[in-house]
Structure 1
Amino acid sequence: MEHLNRTLSALADPTRRAIVARLAEGEATVSQLVDRFALTQPTISSHLKVLEAAGLISRSRVGQTRPCRLDPAGLKMLADWLADYERFWTDTLDRFVEQAEGASPTPTAGDADEDA
C-alpha cells in the first residue's frame, strides 16, 4: 500500500502529470523536459526523482545525458488498483440502470390534469 501512496502522491502534482503525459509520447532527456516545461533543471530533476521513487519512470545514463521513460510496471500497478474501482462503479451503474428501468414513472402535477 505504501507504493500506491507514493504513486498517487507523485501524480497529485500537475507538473508531474504533465511530465508523465510527455513521456507517454516517448523517451526524453532532462534537457528536453527543461525546454518543454520552461522550468529550471533542478526543478525538473526534483520532479523526476519523485516520479522515479514512485516507480512511474526509469532513467538511464547515455554519455552525459539521462534519458527518462515511463516504467510500465509502475503504471500497471496503478491500472490494476483502478480496475478494482472500475468494476465497482460499473456494477453500481448497472444496478442503478436496472432499478431505474424497473421503476414506474412518478406522475407530475401536469399528468393528473391530462387524465381528467
Structure 2
Amino acid sequence: MQPSEALWDEDYRYYTRIWAQEEAVAMEVGIRELRDNLDRYLAEVRSGRMLTVTDHGQAIARMVPVDRLIRLERLRRKVRIQPARTGKQSAPEPIHGNGIVGEFIDAQRR
C-alpha cells in the first residue's frame, strides 16, 4: 500500500465514523416547527445534536454546536487542505473570430 493510499484509507475510516455519528444525532425540522419551538431546538443543539432545517422537505440550513468542527475545519486542522494563496483571477478576454467553431478547432489540430 502506498503512503497516500494509507492516508486516504485512514481519512476514509475517520470520516465514515464521524458521518455515522452525525447521522445518529441529526434531527430534521421544518421552518414553522422551528419558529414555534425555537428554544427547545436550540437546547437540542446546545446538547450536541445537529439540526437540519427543511422547507417543504428540502434541506436548506444546518445548525451545529459551535464547539463542533465541520468537515472543512477538520481538514484544515489536519493540514489536508489550505486556503488559496492568491485571489480569484478574472477570466481572459474572449477570442473573436470569423467562421464556425468547428472549423477553428480543425485548423488548430493541423
Q: TM tier, shorter chain?
A: under 0.3
Q: Which structure is richer in relative contact order (CA contacts within 8 A, separation 6 or more)?
A: 1
Q: Which has the higher helix share?
A: 1
TM-score by length of 2: 0.27
Q: Which has the higher strand share?
A: 2
